Structures are given as C-alpha cells and as structure tokens.
Amino acid sequence: MSSLALGYNEVEIQRGMTTSSTAIFVPFMTRELRMGGQALYYGMNALSHNIIMADRKKLKSANGLYLGSTGSGKSFSAKREIINVFLATQDRIIIVDPMGEYAPLVRRLGGQVIEIAPDSPHHINPMDIQLDLGGDESPLSMKADFLLSLCELVVGGKDGLQPIEKTVIDRCVRQVYRELALGIGDGKPPLLQDLYEELLRQPEPEAQRVATALELYCTGSLNLFNHPTNVDLTSRVVCIVLKGLGENLRKIAMHITNDFVTSAVNTNFHNGIATWCYFDEFHILLRDALTASYFVAVWKMLRKKGCVPSALTQNVKDLLASREIEAILDNTDFMVLLAQAQSDRAILAKQLGISEHQLSYITHSNPGEGLLFYGSTTIPFVDRFPKGEIYNLLTTRPEDLKNEQGA
C-alpha cells in the first residue's frame, strides 16, 4: 500500500499542484489568525485564503486604528465590524460621526441617531448626571470638572479661567445640583440656564464675566444645549452626527459628546457590558487641543473600563503631530491598514517596522485589501463583500450611491 513506509508507491496516481497550492503546506510561509468564542470576522488571509477570526478584547490593549487613503474602504471595514459586534455580542456601540455616513446603518439596526445642529430636534442636556454609580470618583466632582472645562472653552482666551472664576463656577455647580444630590425636588437634572442664572446671583464680578460668555448658549441663538435630553441615550447603538456645525460650536459639541461617551462607558462597565466606540474622520477631531488630549486619555484609561475604541483617519501625519498624540499610535494593538499614500507608507514603515514585501499589500491596493495587525501578528487580508441590500447600507462610494438612487 502507498501508506506504508517502504519507499515505493504501487498506486500509480499523480496529482499536479500549482506553486500557490503547494506553498500553504509550508508552515513558515503564512501566519493564521482564527480564534474562537466571540471572535469577529475580518476577511480572508490573502496568502492561504483561510478566514480571519479575531477577538480584540483578548488583546493587551483593544484600542484600534483604521488607516487608509480616501476610497480605500476604511468606513466600510469599520461598519463591517459594527455589524459583527451587533450580531455576535451583547456589547453597546457608540459612533461619533462628523460626516453623517453611519446614520442609515444605525437606523437599520434599530439604534438612536442624534443629529447635533442648530436646527436639529435632537437635544442632549450637558447637565445630565447619574449619582447612583459606584466607583472611586464622585459623579458630582466629575461633572464639576467637566463644566469647568466647558466654561473655559466658552470663555476662551489664552490664559483660560482664572482661579477665582474656577472657584465661583465650582460653587455654582454644587448649588444647582444640591436638590438632586439630596433627593429632594422633582428629580429632574438642571439645565445650562440654571447654572447661568446661579452665576448671575453671585456677588463676584468674575461670575458676571462667565455668565455673559454663557449667555449665547443659554438664551442666545446657539441655545441647542439648553434643553432636556429628548433622545434615547441608553439605546444599544448610538450615533452622534456632528455634521453642519460651525468651528466654535463644533468644539463645544465635541466636548459634550466626549462627556457622554465617558458617562456611557462608565455606566456600561458598572452593568458588566463592554462599549465599542468609533471615531470617524479622526484627523478632524484632533485639530482641537482639548479634544486631542481627551482621546489620548481614552486610549490610555478607558480600556480599563471595557471600552474598545477605534479611530478612522486618512492622515497618519496627524497621529504624529505631537508626542502626546503619538501615544495613541503607541497604545494601539489592533490596526487595519488599507491603501496608503506614498508619504504615509514611509511613515508607517518606520513606525511599525513594516517590510518592503508587506508594504506591497498597501501600495495601490484595491478597496478592502491591506494588512491586519493583531498584537504581534501581521496578516495580509482580502475582504470581498457581495453587492446587495447590506452592501448599500455600508458603502459610501459615490458611484454606488448613485446607482442605488437610480435603481
């Protein structure tokens, strides 16, 4: 028999094999990534054509980056992961969307889309607070710290708030939350106007200065944050759309959004639930120093509270704008690299130690093709998705959207 170790084969059957078919039998030619449990699908290995299944939560740091030039498929890949998270886990999902690209998908998943704009009917009250969460930090102290930074953003100036102004704001914050903290009154959280009116009642001239700066956002034309919350912030999938905001209002909206994300992560962690956070057009969000420092803190600290953050950007240079922001790249163990511009390829090759051969997978590659970094494992991948109803929810390519509208 041919199976005996006699050195000859009496079954005269031969089979020809191509080079690529033979190569997969050589162990050191390919690396595979196929995990069990709540692992998610990330495409097919470009060399062996085996599926890639990975669980980001098992990494030392679950932080993720989607990097690629315009049209390379960043948003499509992130939306693929969002659908897989939704179907394979019970985790919560939060999307910060500066361009409004994720709203159709979120609505189809039964989630809550919140459009923050001067003419939007959706409102988030920045004064909302949860006093019943356990933990080392006081919810009231955290809210006071948030409102201090909000007032600093509103007042502006190179020097920010002066010590007396900070003291007055802290005093007023504790006063407006007094009834809620003591469990008396109607139990409704205060509005920004309550803080504004409390500042006007203070004798210090510094309080009048801060109140005057807040007036535009309380009784003025930009009072969109002076309303009770009228959207479902507890929905399993929440998408915050920041499209159509002016520069000043965008900074304040982003600061309030960051506070909501932190509060949601803390609440979900308290309930034993992980939170997947997606920040699209990350290079736009990094332009503001306050927001940039917040994301550095997210990448360093919130992962300890079950947060799985992902950032999508086409500008790798923005991640190296300062040593502080560079920490985001250093604290990321999961990366999806798609087609890159020439200058970005050189930066990534130096920062990540990518070989010339590996660079070929992100050089003039087609949408959905690139490199997957999972901890110390690097795998070239291909992700083909059939066109149809779900594809139409995921795509942002103008030609696909045009064809869908014409159908």
Range of the domain at 172: 139-218
Rounded to 10 deg, the angle between the 139-155 and 205-218 helix axes is: 90
Alpha helical stretches, state H, 331-372: 342-352, 356-359
User: Does residue 5 fall inside a structural domain?
Assistant: no
User: Does residue 128 fall inside a structural domain?
Assistant: no
User: Does residue 9 fall inside a structural domain?
Assistant: no
Which CATH number is 269's domain given?
3.40.50.300
For the sheet containing 334-337, what is the strand order? 51-54, 40-45, 377-382, 369-374, 334-337, 64-67, 307-313, 275-279, 92-97, 237-241, 112-115
DSSP assignment of 10-50, as one string? -S-------HHHHHTTSGGG----B--TT-EEEEEETTT--
Question: Which distant-in-sequence residues (6+ apart) come within 8 Å of 262 by Cβ?
Answer: 302
The confidence score (pLDDT) of residue 47 equals 86
- Same domain, yes or no, for 37 and 168? no
Backbone angles phi, psi at 52, to 5 degrees: -105, 120
Rounded-to-integer distance, Cα 263 and Cα 129, Å: 8
The confidence score (pLDDT) of residue 277 equals 96
User: Does residue 224 fall inside a structural domain?
Assistant: no
**Residue that has been written with the tokens 């014409």 in this structure:** 406
The confidence score (pLDDT) of residue 330 equals 86
Alpha helical stretches, state H, 177-280: 178-182, 192-200, 205-218, 247-270
User: Does residue 348 fall inside a structural domain?
Assistant: yes
Cα separations (Å) of 264 from 74, 148, 243, 267, 343?
25, 20, 22, 5, 38
- Same domain, yes or no, for 269 and 166? no
The confidence score (pLDDT) of residue 118 equals 86
Rounded-to-integer distance, Cα 145 and Cα 130, Å: 15
- Same domain, yes or no, for 366 and 271? yes
Alpha helical stretches, state H, 57-182: 74-88, 103-108, 139-155, 163-176, 178-182
- Same domain, yes or no, for 246 and 389? yes
Alpha carbons within 13 angstroms on the beta-carbon side of residue 243 total 12
CB atoms within 10 A of CB 187: 8
- Same domain, yes or no, for 103 and 145? no
The confidence score (pLDDT) of residue 66 equals 94
- Same domain, yes or no, for 241 and 157? no
Element containing residue 297 per DSSP (H, E): helix 289-301
The residues that bridge with 45 in the sheet, in sequence order, are 381
Two structure tokens written together for 401: 């959207």
Q: 29-83, pLDDT tens digit by residue? A: 568 888 888 899 999 999 888 999 999 999 988 999 999 888 888 999 999 999 9
The confidence score (pLDDT) of residue 36 equals 85
- Same domain, yes or no, for 187 and 285? no
Domain count for the chain: 2
Question: Which distant-in-sequence residues (6+ apart) come within 8 Å of 26 by Cβ?
Answer: none
The confidence score (pLDDT) of residue 132 equals 73
User: Does residue 6 fall inside a structural domain?
Assistant: no
Residue that finishes a domain, picked among 218, 253, 276: 218
- Same domain, yes or no, for 271 and 400? yes
DSSP state of 238: E
| Residues in the chain, pLDDT under 70 | 1-7, 9, 22-30, 133-136, 157, 397-407
DSSP state of 255: H
User: Does residue 374 fall inside a structural domain?
Assistant: yes
Contact predicate 108/213, CB 8 Å: no
Question: Which distant-in-sequence residues (6+ apart) come within 8 Å of 343 by Cβ?
Answer: 317
Rounded-to-integer distance, Cα 117 and Cα 303, Å: 30
Rounded to 10 deg, the angle between the 163-176 and 192-200 helix axes is: 120
- Same domain, yes or no, for 260 and 339? yes
The confidence score (pLDDT) of residue 26 equals 62
- Same domain, yes or no, for 239 and 214? no
- Same domain, yes or no, for 269 and 372? yes
Rounded to two decimals, the pTM is: 0.87
Q: 253-272, pLDDT tens digit by residue? A: 999 999 999 999 988 998 99
Residue that finishes a domain, picked among 188, 218, 248: 218
Alpha carbons within 13 angstroms on the beta-carbon side of residue 350 total 8
Contact predicate 210/240, CB 8 Å: no
User: Does residue 7 fall inside a structural domain?
Assistant: no
- Same domain, yes or no, for 211 and 269? no
